[in-house]
Every structure is written in structure tokens, then in C-alpha cells.
Amino acid sequence: MVTINGVATDAAGKTVAEYIASSNYDPQVIAVELNEDIVSKKDYDTTVLKDGDTLEVVSFVGGG
């Protein structure tokens, strides 16, 4: 299992890009951290989630 935004999720084996697409996130407005390290947008396609990983997806909304 992968802990995604605090929730145990069956996502091991997926790439970050696949998880983001399946969860309907807009890649233009997010920041993704894997085990506390930022994942560069160019690496979403090649970063594979593993059992025990912790993923944080921050999705920004407008206003300021």
C-alpha cells in the first residue's frame, strides 16, 4: 500500500503520472512530494510508486 495524502491506497506499481490522471488532478496546479522529496514534473512518467511510500499531492486553488 502507498500512503497518499494520509490515506492507505492501493497504488503500488503505478507511476505518479498514472495516479494523478486516475485521480483527476490537474498537473498544471499541483506539487507532488514522494517521501518528503519533490518530484519534478518531468519525472512524473518515470517515478513508480512502491509499497511503503508516502505521497503528498498538493493541489492549489486560486485566490490571494
Partner 1 sequence: MIPSHEEMTAALAQRHGESLQRVFSSAKVAICGLGGLGSNIAVSLARAGIGKLILIDFDRVDITNLHRQQYKANQIGMFKCEALAQNLSEIAPYVQTEPHCVRLTEENCFDLLCDADIICEAFDKAENKSMLVNYALEHFPDKYLVAASGMAGIGSPNEIVTRRVSKRFYLCGDGKSDVNECGSLFSARVMLCAAHQAHTVLRILAKEFED
Binding to partner 1 by residue 31, rule CB under 8 A? Answer: yes
Residue from 7, 8, 36, 51 in contact with partner 1 (CB under 8 A)? 36
Reading across the β-sheet that carries 2-4, which strands appear in turn? 7-9, 2-4, 54-59, 30-34, 37-38
Q: Which is nearer to partner 1, 36 or 51 (CB)?
A: 36
Do residues 16 and 49 lie in contact, with contact meaning Cβ atoms separated by under 8 Å? Answer: yes
- The amino acid at 41: K
Q: Which is nearer to partner 1, 8 or 40 (CB)?
A: 40
Under the rule (CB under 8 A), what is the footprint of partner 1? 28-31, 33, 36-38, 40-41, 56, 58-64
